[in-house]
Structure 1
């Protein structure tokens, strides 16, 4: 197998840049490893698909053709402050969700760990949910059923507003990836207020799934689902009020840095 590390558009080695901007990336100048080994099998990087402040994600393949995904949490200092503890915490936290859901066929299985801040999961053959691709009959019913299984285990996915985290597999079924901001009762313990928050977040999970369904397969929606998809909660309104100005400033700053060549594009999943 050919090592494509030098051809990777998000590989720091392929892009000269002002050093002060590398601190905005989770792994700084290092980038993802060109290869790693788990259980005697060597996997080589084929593409870095995302590298932001908190984590870097890339596709890898073994010589036998097995594809996997490596995600590494932050290890780079920021403003002189070490943040490897944050990368380790984020890694272990997300890994916990994957392991809790390991028996579900629509969730990628865990392959192993890489370093203190990285873990590897299986690659899903498919594409992110998009208006550019036809969505098969029953897809959203299967997706809602999958989300119900998470909710029964007292997990809120939280990130259903991002269609790129919902994969339409080559098998025609939905698959969920990226549990970085998912929520359960582990971190905050089982208190009345934390259970209340869990229930609210689970409700938002369904709301966003129905918004996707309304956009992509409105013909399959029931009257009740249509009503639910129009019922935007105060929690979403609050999030939009806070996030909108932040995202506006962030996008302008990143656009300027990318145009100047001082910051690489984040890529997508």
Structure 2
């Protein structure tokens, strides 16, 4: 995993890895810092470990992403590109919390999202993948950011296709508003949400079904992040077995395994030990018994906090905890005893 070997392209040698954030057959996303300046946190999308059969598509996606990142440089809320070549794409870390975790309810974020989409249109850029809340960020100042430009297209002409794609970007942003701040939706925005474009309707009726069959049935991928959705597939049976053995509650998250693949992480609340819990088949790769699971005011487990702990995204955990001293005290032993040591092995 070291990036200082002679085979590493010069443009990517100034990278010290820290934590594997995500892995699929097209790339591996690793956070770290510049070797020459450890204060600069960066992210590398690595391409050199891609299987041979996925390499052509992986390289094509990487070229699209690099082109898009170059086109959006200088737009507030977009990633700052450092270098890009066949081995990977290196950019500055975007400080912020993914939308499905931040759940913005204030108008500021959505007003800034309008501004960001307008700035993209000015550059002829359509993101094409912002239906996923994971690709939106709430920045520390409450404003908007966007990441993951793999499917982005830079249009040379502002014709019908560009206008249609730009409107779909807007509609997908409004879907986030409907999910997290429905009371802020205007009548005009509600009308936009009901009017899917012709290409979108055709895709949903044809290509989307084939995509879902291949990814979900044949490859066991989730539609959200392109990785095995092991929480949905294996979680219910494991949870039932743990509850029968005396656990009070179980929370699950997935993480990228250092040897490849997606691991299942179980956080178990109750007077049990990892050794006394039953060995299920399939099983959880990591089982951490915790004094108590974090919950919201309605008593629902704070899944977003468990996901961040499982993937070692401690900066984002701190952001979500804010000034809540009680929640910080509850999370302290969970963080201190976390079992995914990928970040420590990389160091």
Task: State TM-score, norm by structure 2.
Answer: 0.57
Which SS does the other structure have where 1:138 is aligned?
helix
Q: Does 1:47 align with 2:19?
A: yes
Larger radius of gyration: 2
Q: Deviations over 1:105-154 (max 9, x none)?
A: 211111223x5231101101111101663443321111011101111222
Q: How does 1:1-269 map to 2 (within 5 A)?
A: 33-35=1-3, 42-62=14-34, 64-73=38-47, 75-78=50-53, 84-113=55-84, 116-130=86-100, 133-185=103-155, 190=157, 195-241=159-205, 242-255=207-220, 264-265=261-262
Q: Deviations over 1:223-264 (max 9, x none)?
A: 111111122233222222221343244223344987899971
Matched length: 226
Q: What is the Cα-based RMSD across aligned positions, in Å?
A: 3.3
1:27 is matched with none
1:8 is matched with none
Question: What is the distance in 1 between the residues matched to 2:18 and 2:215?
Answer: 29
Which SS does the other structure have where 1:34 is aligned?
coil
Question: What is the distance in 2 between the residues matched to 1:255 and 1:90?
Answer: 21
Greater shift in the superposed pair: 174-183 or 239-248:
239-248
Q: 1:139 to 1:84 in 2, by over 3 A?
A: same
Which SS does the other structure have where 2:68 is aligned?
helix
Which SS does the other structure have where 2:17 is aligned?
strand
Kept in 2, the 8 Å contact 1:73–1:86? The answer is no
**Runs of 4+ with >4 A deviation:** 36-42, 83-86, 256-263, 266-269
Q: 1:131 to 1:227 in 2, by over 3 A?
A: farther
Question: What is the distance in 1 between the residues matched to 2:211 and 2:100?
Answer: 25
Kept in 2, the 8 Å contact 1:91–1:117? The answer is no
5+ residue gaps, structure 2, are: 222-227, 235-256, 264-306, 314-347
Q: Deviations over 1:164-190 (max 9, x none)?
A: 01111122111111111111235xxx4
Task: State TM-score, norm by structure 1.
Answer: 0.71
Higher relative contact order (CA 8 A, sep 6+): 1
5+ residue gaps, structure 1, are: 1-32
Q: 1:40 to 1:59 in 2, by over 3 A?
A: closer
Question: What is the distance in 2 between the residues matched to 1:212 and 1:40?
Answer: 35
Q: 1:89 to 1:52 in 2, by over 3 A?
A: same
